[in-house]
Structure 1
Amino acid sequence: MSTPDDVHRLARAMPHVTALTGPKGNTIYQVGGKSFVFFRTPQPDARFDDVIMFWVPSEEDKLALLATEPFFTTPRFDGHPSVLLRGSRLGEVGLDELTEIVQDAWLARASTRRRERWLAEQDGA
């Protein structure tokens, strides 16, 4: 099953990715200056300190992921195009599913040109 190392590996494998280190040592993956996977820092009002945020392409995609364990959201993220997942629960997510989630997060944030190029390369693979 999946681990935080898999999230890092999959995010870094996408093209044009920049990995930033936040002020509290958390990793933020961006494409074109836009975050797509974000290891959240502990929040004073949060129940968990190991939350990973994944951007989603649409509200429909968000609702589909939220219909399955272990993905969740909080009122703070109502209307935000993302889902949350505790790092300690990554083992409940298969590697194929995690790969698709990271790729979809990248696709949701990449420019049209980069998205179209990457998708064309996948069709040719």
Structure 2
Amino acid sequence: MPYVTVEYGGGDNPVYQVGRKSFIFFRNPRPDAVDPDTGERYADVIVFWVESEADKQALIRDETSPFFTTAHFNGHLSVLLRAGRLGELTRGELAELIQDAWLSRASARRADAWLKAHPPAG
């Protein structure tokens, strides 16, 4: 994606930004995302911004999907995904997730230019 910069947050985790706005970042283990069987904090949580609450709900509604959220992210337009579950997504699904995260945070001018150059399929 164009205009992407990478900053590094706590624990030297990458934070991908467009126009100084984060759209994907890797979290440090936190008490709000834990393995229900062991109580261990997940060390591989990735946060992806979404366009709307409806988009968020569409991704997390199905409990078998790899997407989830926590109370910490109530009201935040993002979904969580464990890196260990990335293989459950096709390359196309992952590319769409990344593009949509970028589009949700890019300026209108940049988003319009991207969409004109890469029209959605279908």
Q: Judge same fold: TM > 0.5, yes or no.
A: yes
Correspondence list, 1:38-77, <5 A: 38-47=25-34, 48-68=42-62, 69-77=65-73
Find 1:35's aligned residue among 22, 27, 34.
22
Instruction: Please identify the structure whose Cα radius of gyration is greater.
Output: 2
Q: CA RMSD in A?
A: 1.1
Question: Where in structure 1 are there 5+ consecutive unaligned residues?
Answer: 1-13
Q: Which ranges of 4 or more aligned residues in structure 1 deviate by more than 6 Å?
A: none
Residue 81 of structure 2: aligned partner: 85
**1:46 shift after superposition:** 3.3
Q: Give how far 1:43 is off.
A: 1.8
Q: Which TM-score applies when normalising by structure 1?
A: 0.84
Deviation at 1:99, TM superposition (A): 0.5
Task: Tell me the amino acid that sits aligned with residue 72 of structure 2.
Answer: R
Paired residue for 1:119, among 96, 108, 115?
115
Flag structure 2 segments of 5+ consecutive residues without an equivalent.
35-41
Distance 1:23 1:78 in 2: 22
Identity %: 58
Q: CA deviation at 1:20?
A: 1.2
